[in-house]
Amino acid sequence: MRFDTPATTNPIDQGKVVGKPIHRIDGPLKTTGKAVYAYEWHDRNTRYAYGYVVGSAIAKGRIRSMDTAAAKKAPGVIAVVTTEAVGELKKGKYNTAKLFGGMEIQHYHQAIAVVVAETFEEARAAAALVKVDYTEEKGAFDLAAAKDSAVEPEGGGASGAGDFDAGFEAAPVKLDQIYTTPDQSHAMMEPHASIAAWNGDDLTVWTSSQMIDWWRTDLATTLGIDKEKVHTMSPFVGGGFGVKLFLRADAVLAALSAREAGRPVKVALPRPFLMNNTTHRPATIQRIRIGAGRDGKITAIGHESWSGDLPGGGPEVAVQQTRLLYAGENRMTAMRLATLDLPEGNAMRAPGEAPGMMALEIAIDEMAEKLGLDPVEFRIINDTQVDPENPERPFSHRNLIGCLRTGAERFGWRERSKKAGARREGDWLVGMGVAAAFRNNLVLPSAARIRLDREGIVTVETDMTDIGTGSYTIIAQTAAEMLGVPIEKVAVSLGDSRFPVSSGSGGQFGGNCSTAGVYAACVKLREAVAQKLSFNSAEDLIFAESEVRSGDRRMPLAQAVADEALVAEDRIEFGDLTKTHQQSTFGAHFVEVGVDVATGETRIRRMLAVCAAGRILNPITARSQVIGAMTMGVGGALSEELVVDKERGFFVNHDLAAYEVPVHADIPHQDVVFLDETDPMSSPMKAKGVAELGICGVAAAVANAIYNATAIRVRNYPITLDKLIKELPEIS
């Protein structure tokens, strides 16, 4: 599939609105507090009740009995819904963990009851009165201890080309190292929250979801009701990073509680539940082996990764970028999955590539040092324009070299000390680090509906969500460009299951795919306008300044509308694109750090990201995504770790006081450069994703900068000062 069409048939290429730095159209709503998030929906004429969740106090076992008598008698209590009373519920397509129902305990803080009361405070107080008797079982909570029992995941986890073992053995220069990454939390600002209301057999749920149709479908399956009876809404989402891709307990509990209470119920998960009840990024143990010739060309590369999850779960696919990023004839990647009884491991911003590149991009730097090569040049030497495991399959567009060269020039890479630990400024050891950035570009079908009214107002309807990414704005830009109207004349309605099913938000596919769906609907509306205004064909028409033009003939766009709005709906599909071409995004991260010679404290001094991700639909919102991802990368490098209690099986630091994410004081100026490019195969928009590319490689760039500053190589994240302080030079 190729979308490289001339501007006369692809108005997106005009670039009058798309590609321009337009501020968020939803910005005023959010900055004035008028944007309504899931828990905030409120009807003055409705008496809402409040549910408070009771979580399991053990990590593995069964519930013997539950005593709810005291809770039911507590002030304000309307109902107590227990997992015992509900019984086994069905599992949706995307659920690994048990959301509710049944007496088996899979993990700590699994929801086992919800107390419904007139106020939140009454519900919380009564929840503390629920008494539970458990039969506790011994669980597995330590990835390192479970490593030897890990197995290849269902569906396979190995891939390769050539003969890795022979190629590695024959290589004159070799690297063989182990790297580890910890469990991490999404730690988004808005917690999981839902309001549920029943009207007979019809269920309406206001919730915080990245994927409206996935939630609607799985909620219907879980409750055993017809999907057509479920209406889900999520027009504003206060962050997700992957934890809100799949149906979670709050929506299920709100629905069950509302049915039991006979009135609408609000349920929000307290912050500790976000860490232990929902999902997290799983820890990994990664072994990387690289063999190269004296000329710096990789001849063998192997990457193995171990991770854990609940029974029926999947691995952290930390090897997937290694299959594609660098050339090398002899290749091997493998994943192994251990059964752990910790909360569910699942998607977190750039699942796979983010933790995988935390290891790979340190290994690449270590190999460059062994070869006596500059780290930037070593990466350039091993660039490839085809899938290394399948050379017949080219990349649709790849400019990693451009990212590296542009970044090195802009960052002043030539000033980097070639000898580690050699640059000192007062009490600070100073160093620079680099890492490639890589994230696959996913494509999913996406649909939209376009309405044109008699006033010339264009309304876009799609169940796409805006999780802080700027979906409202880039969708409005797309419709404005396609129909030749000012962006002020475009209204965008999102996050409602009554609208056509979009790609949703996740995997950095949302921007490209959802706008491509809007593009398709606009093409259909253009055809309807041409027919209504008696033009021969829509292909030769120019839509501009709220007019339709062809030669000397021009007519107001709104004239195509009679008594009722003109409506068009369509969907973008991508055919066999992923089979014929590898779709990926590329970048380079450069970081300068200072490390206190006495304490080992690391400070980020400056950062640069250079991204090659197809057409950038809006530089402002895209930059916002990248700097946010860069900030998360710093957290992954220096502070973020869910600490596991390996006896009781839970994450100890389950709040934002103890789970340490970067704050403003930790982040200096961040520079972002987007290379001027389009990918004519990615979609009619010729765009690709960028939101997750910004995190991939950042942690390794920080680690490499710390090594350059101190000559101390840390391979176990996060790089806390205790891992540096013993090896720092004597203070002089």
pLDDT at 540 (0 to 100): 86
Could you tell me if 309 and 146 are in contact, meaning their C-beta atoms sit under 8 angstroms apart?
Answer: no
The full DSSP string for 123-143 is HHHHHTT-EEEEEE------H
Report if pTM > 0.85: yes
533 token code pair: 């205004």
Place of tokens 């890795």: 164
Q: What is the mean pLDDT of residues 10-37?
A: 96
Percent of the chain with pLDDT over 90: 95
List, for residues 485-511, the tens digit of each pLDDT value: 999 999 999 999 999 999 999 999 999
Q: How many CB atoms lie within 10 A of CB 662?
A: 19
Does the pLDDT value for residue 200 go beyond 60?
Answer: yes
Report the catalytic residues. Answer: 692
Which residues face 205 on adjacent strands? Answer: 196, 232
Does the pLDDT value for residue 328 go beyond 80?
Answer: yes
410 by Cβ neighbours in 10 Å (0-12 / 13-18 / 19+) ranks as middle
570 token code pair: 């369509």
Tell me the H-state helices in 549-605. 577-580
Q: Report the distance separating Cα 217 and Cα 410, nearest Å.
A: 48
pLDDT at 731 (0 to 100): 77
- Beta strand ranges found along 45-150 (DSSP E): 49-55, 61-67, 77-82, 104-105, 111-117, 131-136
Could you tell me if 423 and 663 are in contact, meaning their C-beta atoms sit under 8 angstroms apart?
Answer: no
Q: Report the distance separating Cα 404 and Cα 410, nearest Å.
A: 10
Q: What is the mean pLDDT of the chain?
A: 96
List, for residues 329-357, the tens digit of each pLDDT value: 999 999 999 999 999 999 999 999 999 99
Could you tell me if 267 and 114 are in contact, meaning their C-beta atoms sit under 8 angstroms apart?
Answer: yes
**Helices 619-638 & 353-371 angle (0-180, nearest 10):** 70
Q: Report the distance separating Cα 196 and Cα 249, nearest Å.
A: 12
Does the pLDDT value for residue 95 go beyond 90?
Answer: no
Q: Which domains does the chain have, with CATH numbers?
A: 11-35+444-573 (3.30.365.10), 393-441+581-727 (3.30.365.10)
Residue 149, C-beta contacts closer than 8 angstroms, at least 6 positions apart: 338, 339
pLDDT category at 538 given cuts 50, 70, 90 is: confident
1 token code pair: 């599939």
Q: Report the distance separating Cα 242 and Cα 374, nearest Å.
A: 36
pLDDT category at 72 given cuts 50, 70, 90 is: very high
pLDDT category at 8 given cuts 50, 70, 90 is: very low
List, for residues 75-85, the tens digit of each pLDDT value: 999 999 999 99
pLDDT category at 2 given cuts 50, 70, 90 is: low
Q: What is the mean pLDDT of residues 166-190?
A: 98
440 token code pair: 């696959």
